[in-house]
């Protein structure tokens, strides 16, 4: 398992394509705010006020997640890699700011395997809770 986690490449589907994040891969180890598949769907982060302030708040919340590395952050799109503690599996977490709607979309997916025992959903719920706690 450890070797598998070290050799899993960064997915080519990461990033924004036609204004959207990629669809979930079809395995039970992903959540997304921009999918029509109910089992993978979560509501986006919603905010009032300045999009820049909301993005700054998100950056702070993400920086508090253990074993997290920000790969890309251009102020409206962020890609973060989160590494599991034991087997060193990498999950790719993406955020996309939709400023006019007051929303931040996200997608969180494991690079390997078919199931994550709910890890991505739990992580994104914790991020949501912290994001709202900092400024409801």
pLDDT at residue 9, as a whole number: 74
What percentage of the chain exceeds 70 in pLDDT? 87
pLDDT at residue 25, as a whole number: 83
| The residue to which tokens 């979560």 are assigned | 42
Question: Which residues, given as ranges, of the chain have pLDDT below 50?
Answer: 1-5
pLDDT at residue 115, as a whole number: 59
**Distance between CA atoms of residues 43 and 105, nearest Å:** 8
Question: What pLDDT digit, counting tens, does each position of 83-104 carry?
Answer: 987 767 899 999 999 999 999 9
pLDDT at residue 84, as a whole number: 81
- Give bridge partners of residue 81 from the DSSP assignment: 69, 92
Instruction: Work out the end-to-end distance of the chain between its first and last CA atoms, rounded to an integer number of angstroms.
Output: 40
Q: Are 110 and 89 in contact (CB under 8 A)?
A: yes
pLDDT at residue 68, as a whole number: 96
Q: Are 91 and 120 in contact (CB under 8 A)?
A: yes
pLDDT at residue 101, as a whole number: 97
pLDDT at residue 7, as a whole number: 58
pLDDT at residue 117, as a whole number: 63
Using DSSP bridges, classify how beta strands 68-73 and 45-46 pair: parallel, antiparallel or unpaired: unpaired
**Distance between CA atoms of residues 57 and 118, nearest Å:** 25
pLDDT at residue 1, as a whole number: 44
């Amino acid at each position: 398992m450890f070797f598998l986690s070290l050799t899993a490449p960064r997915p080519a589907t990461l990033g924004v394509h036609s204004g959207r994040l990629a669809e979930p891969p079809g395995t039970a180890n992903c959540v997304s705010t921009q999918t029509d598949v109910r089992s993978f769907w979560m509501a986006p982060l919603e905010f009032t006020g300045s999009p820049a302030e909301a993005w700054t708040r998100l950056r702070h919340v993400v920086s508090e997640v253990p074993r997290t590395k920000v790969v890309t952050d251009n102020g409206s799109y962020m890609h973060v890699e989160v590494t599991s503690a034991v087997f060193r599996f990498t999950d790719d977490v993406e955020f996309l700011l939709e400023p006019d709607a007051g929303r931040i979309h996200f997608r969180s997916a494991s690079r390997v395997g078919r199931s994550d025992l709910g890890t991505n959903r739990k992580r994104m719920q914790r991020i949501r809770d912290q994001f709202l706690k900092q400024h409801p």
